[in-house]
Amino acid sequence: MDVISTAKAHGGVQGVYRHRSRTTDCDMTFAVFVPEHQPGEKLAVLTYLSGLTCTHQNVMDKGEFRRAAAKHRLIIVTPDTSPRGADVPDEPDNWQFGSGAGFYVDATEAPYNANYRMYSYITDELPALLAVNFPVATTRQGIFGHSMGGHGAMTIALKNPDIYRSCSAFAPIVHPARADWSRPAFEKYLGADAKAWRDYDTCLLIEDGKRFPGFLVDQGTDDQFLENGLRPELLKAACETARIPLTLNMREGYDHSYNFISTFMDDHLAWHAKRLKP
């Protein structure tokens, strides 16, 4: 693991790191904020999954999470959203597929299955790397994200309630098997048979019996993707049927941007901190 940069921030250290991933077969960059802590002390860790087009850097720059993370003593991990590099197949003109659009799935279709394995990267390889290199309490993990990353966080939590204690999302894609921006990507990563997609769709995972102790979701009412892509009412219906506690906050006048995310970041970190206590 190479250290790209470190800087003191809000009493802790905001770092950027790079490593060769065996899972995605390319170099992966990620950022970690470690709050001030005692020598030998282990801290809860919260992974933030970003949305389409983002890298590790967008939320690191604009998410405004460090102040509250320092207060709650949470390590914040912000991975990249896809494999990248000259050897990684991509569609450079398509922002909804390939680089920046890994959708947190393990692709099964060639040529994407060699690199696009973000599900295993996020749930397996990256946590193992973090456990060795940072003061992580591995039994106290949470996950959250934005848009495509909210989809990633909720699908990962539903499939791994033994690993993740808490899950929240900003403006998540809750039913990607039906959303315009995700269907073409799912077909390329997972094949034409939509049965295989169910394993990466929050609403369908719940329909298929997966459960989680509860979700916090914030959604702006002026989000330009609200009606065609996000449709939080589908999540609400799925959670009600399955009796999964859902706190869904519709936020008047907010859009899909980091202005929205940063505004409600404190609330989300407090939610996770409460559930990630020792």
Least Å distance between CB 146 and a second copy? 15
Judged by phi (left if over 0) then psi (alpha if -120 to 50, else beta), residue 272 lies in: alpha
Burial of 137 (0-12, 13-18, 19+ CB in 10 A): middle
What sign does the dihedral 73-33-129-154 (CA atoms) show? Answer: positive
**Under a CB-based contact definition with an 8 Å cutoff, are residues 18 and 57 in contact?**
no
Nearer to a second copy among residue 170 and residue 189 (C-beta): 170
Interface residue list for a second copy (CB under 8 A): 7-11, 14, 61-62, 64, 66-67, 220, 222, 253-255, 257-260, 262-263, 266
Q: Which helix (H) or strand (E) holds 88?
A: none
Catalytic residue among 21, 82, 223, 268: 223
Least Å distance between CB 67 and a second copy? 7
Tell which residue, 53, 46, 96, 50, has the closest CA to residue 75.
46
Query: Residue 248: helix, strand or coil by DSSP?
Result: strand
Please report, in angstroms and rounded to a whole number, the separation of the first and last CA atoms in the chain: 28
Catalytic residue among 56, 146, 256, 272: 256
Catalytic residue among 50, 99, 147, 168: 147
Nearer to a second copy among residue 11 and residue 111 (C-beta): 11
Nearer to a second copy among residue 34 and residue 158 (C-beta): 34
Least Å distance between CB 7 and a second copy? 4
Nearer to a second copy among residue 64 and residue 91 (C-beta): 64
**256 labelled catalytic:** yes
Least Å distance between CB 167 and a second copy? 24
Catalytic sites, residue numbers: 147, 223, 256
